[in-house]
Amino acid sequence: MSTLFEKIINREIPSDILHEDGSCIVIKDVSPQAPFHALVIPKKPIPRIRMAEKEDQSLLGHLLLTAAQVAQRENLDDGFRIVVNNGKEGGESVPHLHVHLLGGRQMTWPPG
């Protein structure tokens, strides 16, 4: 059964796409937690970061570099936050690895 993100990648569910390349897609979060909130989603369905393997190393780096490129394009010059949730207690709601890119306001610490 496909995850929500696989359906977005396959265009079965519409989404506001900010970037797409051969490895990932970046969409606006439908429930934003900051003035700017996007999700960087690998096209390879890795359920969670804990399940990534050594062969995924370059893909994981690509996700972070893509997040930084989108942040620059969106003028998040004063800063931004990158978050990866893992598991129920980590706040994971979709079992498909993704990177949250948040910005446009002062972030607080601790985050949650």
pLDDT of residue 1: 80
Q: Which listed residue (19, 62, 96, 98) is catalytic?
A: 98
- On the question of pLDDT at 110 being above 90, the answer is no
All structural domains of the chain: 4-103 (3.30.428.10)
In three-state form (DSSP H/G/I as H, E/B as E, the rest C), the secondary structure along the chain is CCCHHHHHHCCCCCCCEEEECCCEEEEECCCCCCCEEEEEEECCCCCCHHHCCHHHHHHHHHHHHHHHHHHHHCCCCCCEEEECCCCHHHCCCCCCCCEEEEECCCCCCCCC
Q: Is 98 among the residues known to form the active site?
A: yes
Tell me the pLDDT tens digit for each residue of 66-85: 999 999 999 999 999 999 99
Tell me the pLDDT tens digit for each residue of 3-54: 999 999 999 999 999 999 999 999 999 999 999 999 999 999 999 999 999 9
- On the question of pLDDT at 111 being above 90, the answer is no
